[in-house]
Every structure is written in C-alpha cells, then in structure tokens.
Amino acid sequence: MTDTCSLTADELAVRRDAFLALIDDALLTARVTLRRDPRTEAALDALVRAESECCPFLDVRVTRGKATLLVDVEYRRSGGSRRAIAGNRGLGPV
C-alpha cells in the first residue's frame, strides 16, 4: 500500500469539489485530531482566536491531550451557506 493519492490533479479537484458540496449542504460538526507540539499548538490557538472574532456561527473547542489536540467544530447555521459566507468575504474558492 502507498501513502500517496492515485488521483490525477483533475480527478483530485473533482473529488475535493464533491466533498465541499456535501460539507456545504450537510455539515453540522467536524472533529480533527492534530499532533501536539509547540508550533502546532501556537498555530491552532491563533486560528481559534481569529475565528472567534470573525465567525460567530462557528463553535470551536480544543481538548488538549498529552500528545494530541482534539479540535471540535460546530457550524451553527443562521441562514446562508458556508460557501456564500466565504465568497462574500473575498476568500475565493473554498
């Protein structure tokens, strides 16, 4: 087994768009586990602070384990989609 994706760049773009369409339509929560090291923790803390200031529709919680950072994100819909919000902010394609 290999640890690289077998999709071409075009196939990968199609797959990414399919995931984003599903997320845009149905995302309620997401959970990500990151390794815990000083660089990752500092970057995550900065992102969580920044998102809390600009995106009140996101509820981001971080649980700090010995070797991991567990990030839970809840998207509280208030009308409009994640894509529309990003597009209106000039963030480009998401």
Domain at 31, CATH number = 3.30.1070
Shortest CA distance to 72 belongs to which of 51, 42, 93?
51
| Residue 54 lies in domain | 26-77
34-57 pLDDT per residue, tens: 999 999 999 999 999 998 888 888
Please give the pLDDT value at position 86. Answer: 53
> Where residue 29 falls among pLDDT bands split at 50, 70, 90?
confident
In a domain, 84, yes or no: no
Number of domains in the chain: 1
In a domain, 60, yes or no: yes
- Considering only residues 89 and 50, tell me which one the structure prediction assigns the higher pLDDT: 50
pTM for the whole structure: 0.67
In a domain, 17, yes or no: no
- Section 55-61 average pLDDT: 87
In a domain, 6, yes or no: no
Cα angle 80, 91, 35; round to 5 = 100
In a domain, 5, yes or no: no
In a domain, 16, yes or no: no
> Where residue 10 falls among pLDDT bands split at 50, 70, 90?
very high
pLDDT above 70: percentage of residues in the chain = 81
